[in-house]
Structure 1
Amino acid sequence: MSDPSLLATRAWPFEEAARVADRLQKTGKTTALFETGYGPSGLPHIGTFGEVARTTWVRRAFAAATGLPSRLLAFSDDMDGLRKVPDNVPNREMLAEYLGKPLTKVPDPFGTHDSFGAHNNARLRAFLDGFGFEYEFASSTDYYQSGRFDAALLRMLEVHDQVRDAVRPTLGPDRRATYSPFLPIHPRTGIVMQVPVDEARPESGTIIWTDPASGERFETPVTGGQVKAQWKADWAMRWFALGVDYEMSGKDLIDSVKLSSAIVRILGAEPPVTFTYELFLDAEGQKISKSKGNGLTIEQWLDYAPPESLAWFMYASPGSAKRLHAKVIPRAVDDWLAGVEKLRAAAEPTNPAWHIHGGAAPATRPPTIGFATLLNLAGVANTDDPARLWAYIQKYYPAESPETDPVLDGLVRNACAYWRDWVAPERRFRPATPAEAEAMQELARLLREREPGFMALPPGPQRESAMQDAVYDAGRREPFAVPGKDGKIGVGRAWFSALYEVLLGKTEGPRFGGTIAVMGVAEACALIEQRLAAETAAA
């Protein structure tokens, strides 16, 4: 069942889906082709995940709104020549002998596949499969050599001079003088030749070029995989040949998108709907660079959090720059969990979880404890051992176990790793002021006094709320008290900051009542008394 009204939904995947639907209406197509591109000279990374995930969300929105079929093509440009030897591979000396050859003609330095291109293609497919993406894989080498691009290449040959003249203004003086959209494959060496085309011959479907090393002239057909189109012309040729309807790309490719779109029009078609996403920044707001190593890898994120939390982070405002660093992870996890709970209550398509989970909440039972609270527990226990965190959890939820709640068990393991690498090294305890110490002693007294009432409540939100009330009541005193809008006395942020800075060595965290509920009243009171006693002894 489709729902065309969804195209008016104020969520960016539906806004993009509406653009795709308009394109299909104009072209008369009944199936939409979405594409993502991949350069297999490197390994899949966090940007690869983001591009495929975001394209998938637009595709799902398109299907839900129009009911029309669609395909997602993950296209590998594996016929590109090896430009340099990567730093992170074995047998680098061997690879240096194959510079300039198509990646599918370069031996695999890892020794596991027929070629370096095949190795990295396999890594890409395993990467995408690991996240459950639905896609069709496409190899540039296969498409060129099988003749799938022949008609488009012959068409580009017919308009060779127009394509050349469209690209030339974007090039430097040296390349401008020699540019052609075609790169011939040397018939003897197999190298993708970066040479001028002396003559384009549409009538015979060939180009004439000269080997600069030997001076020998060659006539090479543009069909059958005997040439490779230069990058921007290649992108346009692919859009034209396959009828691509939608493709995303990063801000760094804005000019390439414009030029490739102009080339598609020269070829005689309308370019696809395109979307430009912003690039990631590091914690200091600098552009992330693989050479600088100032970013967060996808492997690191998955050590610390579930993949759905990364999807949640990727979803919001793709047209705006995002700071991608470890400290965004806890919020992303808990926001994702909250989004799933909202999705369980109502399948609202403005909820990012709707897109991440395909319109329905996952069947697995939601975890009973949030990620930030697990980090607090790790701090209280001063441990990165999942078994010790489970010991706390099972005091509060006796029926829970890693076997009965695998989602929570995964979060426990993630939280332990995150606490070990990012929280523990930065913990800085400070002594309590006299006013803070007095309020914390009052909190311990209130917790003990109210413990029978707490235990009469079922584990969960009610008990946590009652414990949070005790936290508020202990803080309704100078210098923390603030007047509320209703005339009642409220509690200022300084009280909650004091709890975290004095008791946990952190600057912030989730509602403290939730942490008390899981660790237990006795342990919470002991923590307060131990910290205050340690300060007294130090003084």
Structure 2
Amino acid sequence: MTLAPAPTEDLAHDLRAAAETASAWPFEEARKIVERLKRKPKDEVLFETGYGPSGLPHIGTFGEVARTTMVRHAFRVLTDDKVKTRLLCFSDDMDGMRKIPDNVPDRAALEPYLQMPLTSVPNPFGGDYPSFGDHNNAMLRRFLDTFGFDYEFASATDYYKSGKLDAVLLKAAEKYDAIMDVMLPTLGEERQATYSPFLPISPTSGRVLYVPLKAVDAKAGTVTFTDEDGAEKTLPVTGGAVKLQWKPDFGARWAALGVDFEMFGKDHQTNAPVYDRICEVLGAEPPEHYVYELFLDQNGQKISKSKGNGLTIDEWLTYASPESLALYMFQSPRSAKKLHFDVIPKAVDEYFNFLARYPSQDWKNRLGNPVWHIHSGNPPVIDMPVSFTMLLNLASASNAEDEDVLWGFLRRHVPGVSSETHPKLAELVGYAVRYFKAFVEPNKRFRPADDVERGALEALYEALGVLPEDAGAAEIQDVLYDVARPIPRYQDLKAKGATPEKPGVSVEWFNAIYQVLLGEQRGPRFGSFVEIYGIPETRALIKEKLG
């Protein structure tokens, strides 16, 4: 890999100057926070992400932490790391369980716990965690720790019960009418009649109650309501006896903690002004926002924790690296993207392509390169001699049952290569074999060659036989073109530099190669594939498929 250019005399100055005008979205958001500090100076900036543990954490949850971390690092660069920053991952685990997720064992056993706080619902998975909320929180933290995020974890249950939110809850009781003035215009007529920003936790059943309040005593800091047993009850708003409805809760948490930046999905966008207004009613300035598009599953449906559609964090990491996942999060956050297994190979290869470009780039382009943001300004230098797509095609051609098959091809292509000399390549080989077995092999669809394709492939078989076995990718690619050019079906007169005497070659020729020989719709540059797979092996493959 090309080494990075030598540092300038004042590296920090060059970096800071490039950061001031960097167009990457994390810098755009970080500059908003810099301006915020000019309006309201403070010693510490708080970045927050929210998590609703009503289901197992999915990749979208991870994406909020990864993206917020990127903004946090950009802010630290813009301020020369002179302002203290914190990242708080806040779990709304005191929310009532409104429905039972589809992807939990023994769903019927959870039915008695509907509307109870998630940290009061038994853990359906068993193990060391006492509640469903605790289990899901632990799953999220385990991955965030594995990835190495610098964050603090916060539980709503802990914050409510320990008194950390008491001051803002008392303020909410004092400003009850003002909060209602914000909320009521956003509700339908029927909901207006029963709405309250405070949700009592029933002393009788332990459920989160959506009931109208009979009285709010700001001086005493209490609310009065009719409990499930029909009796009138009065509870303090402090100490975890009540919680706030989710819209007031958003704004109240911002006010209580002094949050400066939070991103959320597009499904929150219409409610963001409500969150802001509640925060202002409670005497604080709302944080800077960043709204991202939602992820979709393979059918174009919104990913849901309760449905368990789309990818889980563990599923992605079974078949690809955390860095490739971080790249997928960095790219186009304001565009809806499909989050399914078929996006993984492209993400893996794009990550290594960006990494290879980084050392030779100037600072302007470096700060626009995703790997700078993924690795917090310090991307590693990695020699990756082949692409993930190439490994998948090698696995497909050889029906690789284990990693040794792929290493055989790789050692011939790169003498001396091993898992010790190329540990990242070793990871990629493992991912490729697992991905091949799970998704490529079961879906391979070979088709027979028609008469034109058969003739072309027979000609390719003969032409490859004339080449020396150690021919390079470029020489092999030239043979591919030479075989196709005389065939009218594969001639492309619109290709750059094409003439009637020497037409270009259409993609249809290469599609035919992959569909007939490998059972794939497309693949990498075929000359490079043959160089690694081997000319004798490729000829044997042609003979087998034509036979």
Q: Is the pair's TM-score, using the shorter chain for normalization, greater than 0.5?
A: yes
Further displaced range: 383-392 or 121-130: 383-392
Partner in structure 1 of residue 3 of structure 2? none
Counterpart of 2:214?
198
- Whether 1:246 aligns to 2:261 is yes
Asked if the contact 1:444–1:528 (Cα under 8 Å) also holds between the matched residues in 2, the reply is yes
Q: Which of 179, 182, 201 in structure 2 is aligned with 1:163?
A: 179
For residues 53-202 of structure 1, the aligned pairs below 5 Å read 53-67=66-80, 68-90=83-105, 95-109=110-124, 110-187=126-203, 189-202=205-218
Letter of the aligned partner of 1:356 in structure 2? Answer: I
- 2:344 matched to 1:329? yes
**Separation of aligned partners in 2, 1:209 and 1:281:** 41
1-structure distance, mates of 2:447, 2:110: 55
Q: Paired residue for 2:537, among 517, 523, 531?
A: 523
**Amino acid of the residue matched to residue 415 of structure 2?**
P
Structure 2 matches for 1:438-457, cutoff 5 A? 438-451=455-468, 454=471
Structure 2 Cα separation of the partners of residues 403 and 19 of structure 1:
45
The answer on 1:486 being equivalent to 2:497 is yes
Correspondence 1:371 to 2:371: no
Q: Measured at CA, do residues 254 and 246 of structure 1 come closer, stay the same or move farther in structure 2, by a change above 3 Å?
A: same
Deviations 1:463-503 (A, max 9, x none): 33333233223323222233454355322212212221222
Residue 407 of structure 2 is matched in structure 1 by 390
Alignment partner of 2:369 out of 345, 348, 351: 351
Alpha-carbon distance between aligned partners in 1 of 2:396 and 2:470, rounded to the nearest angstrom: 27
In the TM superposition, what whole-angstrom CA distance separates every residue of 1:42-75 from its partner, at most 9, and x where no partner exists? 2211111111111111111111222233111000
Counterpart of 1:458 in structure 2 is none
The structure 2 residue matched to 1:300, chosen from 297, 300, 315, is 315
Paired amino acid for 1:47: G
* Alpha carbons 2:202, 2:228 under 8 Å: kept: no
User: Could you say which structure has the greater relative contact order, defined with CA pairs below 8 angstroms and 6 or more residues apart?
Assistant: 2
Does 1:425 find its partner at 2:424? Answer: no
Q: Quote the Cα distance in structure 2 between the aligned partners of 1:62 and 1:472.
A: 51
Contact kept in structure 2, 1:184 and 1:228, CA below 8 Å: yes
Counterpart CA distance in 2 for 1:349 and 1:74 is: 26
- Alignment correspondent of 1:17: 30
Task: State, as a whole percentage, how many aligned pairs show the same letter.
Answer: 50
Aligned in 2, Cα 1:44/1:485: closer, same or farther, shift over 3 Å?
closer
Query: Which residue does the alignment assign to 2:516?
Result: 502
Give the CA deviation at 1:16: 1.3
Quote the offset at 1:11 in angstroms: 1.1
- Partner Cα distance (2:308, 2:89) in 1: 26
SS in 1 for 2:334: coil
State the partner residue of 2:473: 464
Deviation (angstroms), 1:4: 5.5
Deviates more, 1:303-312 or 1:11-20: 303-312
Shift, 1:526, TM fit: 2.0
1:159–1:266 CA contact under 8 A, matched in 2 = yes
Contact 2:173/2:217 (<8 A) preserved: yes
3-state DSSP of counterpart to 2:468: helix
| Shift in Å, 1:508 | 1.0
Moved more, 83-92 or 31-40: 83-92
State how far apart, in whole Å, the 2-side matches of 1:14 and 1:164 are.
37
* Amino acid of the structure 2 residue aligned with 1:118: D
**Structure 1 unaligned blocks of 5 or more:** 455-462, 535-539
- Change in CA separation of 1:191 and 1:293 when aligned onto 2, cut-off 3 Å: closer
Does the 8 Å contact 1:7/1:17 carry over to 2? no
1:160 shift after superposition:
0.4
Mapped contact 1:343–1:351 kept (Cα < 8 A): yes
Aligned equivalent of 1:279: 294
Alpha-carbon RMSD across the aligned residues, in angstroms, is 2.4
Q: CA deviation at 1:5?
A: 4.3
After superposition, the Cα gap between the structure-2 partners of 1:429 and 1:226, relative to the gap in structure 1 and judged at 3 Å, is: closer
Query: Aligned-pair distance for 1:231?
Result: 0.9
Aligned partner (choices 478, 486, 498) of residue 477 of structure 1: 486
Amino acid at match of 2:259: V
Change (3 A) 1:505 1:151: same
Shift of residue 381 of structure 1?
0.6
Query: How many pairs were matched up?
Result: 523
Flag the 1:286–1:207 CA change in 2: closer, same or farther, 3 A. closer
Q: What secondary structure does 1:451 align onto?
A: coil
Structure 2, unaligned runs of 5 or more: 1-11
**Partners of 2:492 and 2:498 within 8 A in 1:** no
Give the distance between the partners of 2:176 and 2:414, measured in 1 at CA: 71
Q: 1:79 to 1:291 in 2, by over 3 A?
A: closer
Asked if structure 2 preserves the Cα contact closer than 8 Å seen for 1:183 and 1:193, the reply is yes
Matched residues in 1 for 2:277 and 2:406: separation?
58
Q: Deviations over 1:167-222 (max 9, x none)?
A: 1222233331122211223445544332222222222222232325233232x222
Deviations for 1:318-370, whole angstroms, at most 9, x for unmatched residues? 1111122222222111111101111233360111121112222225x332211
| One-letter amino acid matched to 1:478 | I
Task: Give the 3-state SS of the residue equivalent to 1:264 in structure 2.
Answer: helix
Identify the residue that residue 40 of structure 1 maps to in structure 2: 53
User: Matches of 1:486 and 1:192 in 2, distance apart?
Assistant: 71
Q: Specify the SS of the correspondent of 2:214.
A: strand
Contact 2:119 2:131 in 1 (8 A): yes
Partners of 1:429 and 1:99 lie apart in 2 by 50
**Deviation of residue 515 (structure 1)?**
0.6
TM-score (norm: length of structure 2):
0.89
